Structure 1
Amino acid sequence: MTRGTLYGGTRLHPRHVRDRQFTTVGFGRRGLNPREVRRFLHRVALDLAALHHDLALLSEENARVKRALRTWQSAWSERRQP
């Protein structure tokens, strides 16, 4: 599995978690409590949304730092030439 892929080659996004449906099994105590599952999935979706936001900010900062480094390198090489 490659980095960032899941569910048929797409990244796992908050909407995948929020929209996930589980089948119910039996009655009474068998199976999962749908309310607990939904609460947990909502919590996971919020965490994923925050992580995607942080990743976008870091990618922007990384691009900014790379541009600044290239500018500095160009300016430095021009100063060193006789």
Structure 2
Amino acid sequence: MRRAPNAVGHLYGRPVRPSISPGLVRDRRFGDRTRRGCDPTEVRTFLHLVADELTALRAELAATRDENVRIKQALRDWQSQQFQQFQAGAGVTG
């Protein structure tokens, strides 16, 4: 499901966060300068770890959304069944 933000970068009054993909995290470069205390190899390793975690979280979110759809459909089916039984018990036709 794709949601389009309005002209000011908000989705129906709520701020829209930019999407950060695992590939974007893995491919991020910070230049050749070494800053005090930051080893470029360790930074790359950390970025790959973050990207892997982001991939796993996205998969878990997709599975949760699918489960949510299944549960909502089961609830709708149950409610329809209960309503039909209610109508049959009350002698309502139609």
Instruction: Give the equivalent residue in structure 2 for 1:75.
Output: 81
RMSD of aligned Cα (Å): 1.4
Instruction: Give the equivalent residue in structure 2 for 1:16.
Output: 24
- Post-superposition shift, 1:34? 1.3
Pair member with larger Rg = 2
- Post-superposition shift, 1:44? 0.2
Q: 1:42 pairs with 40, 48, 52, which one?
A: 48
Shift >4 Å, 4+ stretches: none
Aligned length: 73
Stretches of structure 1 that go unaligned for 5 or more consecutive residues are none
Q: 1:57 pairs with 63, 79, 84, which one?
A: 63
Q: TM-score, normalised by structure 2?
A: 0.71
Q: TM-score, normalised by structure 1?
A: 0.81
- Identity between Structure 1 and Structure 2 (%): 42
Amino acid aligned to 2:25: V
More strand by share: 2
Amino acid aligned to 1:67: Q
Stretches of structure 2 that go unaligned for 5 or more consecutive residues are 1-9
